[in-house]
Amino acid sequence: GEIGANLGAIQNTMSAHLKVLDHAGLVRAERSGRTIRYVADMTGFRDLLAYLMEDCCNGAPELCQPVIQAVTCKC
């Protein structure tokens, strides 16, 4: 409810979007009683960013290598 209220989205719409993000591995749902809290899955975001950058720079991914290594770091 809090995310939807801040974005001006109705609860059903927000729930559907968060469920898609959960299935994509970009957020995690944590249930606490009747409340479901969604938290960002930073590993999922790093993996997505690395995937998107692998074929960047007009076929010269070595130009993006420093950024790819920074976002795929397991630190």
Q: What is the pLDDT of residues 26-69, one digit of tens each?
A: 999 898 898 888 999 989 988 887 777 776 666 676 777 777 77
Left if phi > 0, otherwise alpha if psi is -120 to 50, otherwise beta: which for 18?
alpha
User: Does residue 49 share a domain with residue 24?
Assistant: no
Q: Is the pLDDT of residue 4 over 70?
A: yes
Q: Is the pLDDT of residue 71 over 80?
A: no
User: Does residue 19 share a domain with residue 32?
Assistant: yes
Residue 59 domain boundaries: 42-75
User: Does residue 13 share a domain with residue 32?
Assistant: yes
User: Does residue 1 share a domain with residue 31?
Assistant: yes
| Measured distance CA(5)–CA(55) in Å, rounded | 37
User: Does residue 25 share a domain with residue 11?
Assistant: yes
Work out the pLDDT band at 9, boundaries 50, 70, 90: confident
Q: Which two tokens stand for residue 54?
A: 């692998």
Q: Name residue, tokens 């950058």.
A: 53
User: Does residue 36 share a domain with residue 57?
Assistant: no
How many domains in the chain? Answer: 2
- Which value, to the nearest 10 degrees, does the dihedral of the CA atoms of residues 5, 8, 14, 18 take? -80
Higher pLDDT, 50 or 16: 16
User: Does residue 20 share a domain with residue 3?
Assistant: yes
Q: Name the nearest CA neighbour of 29 among 20, 10, 6, 72.
A: 20
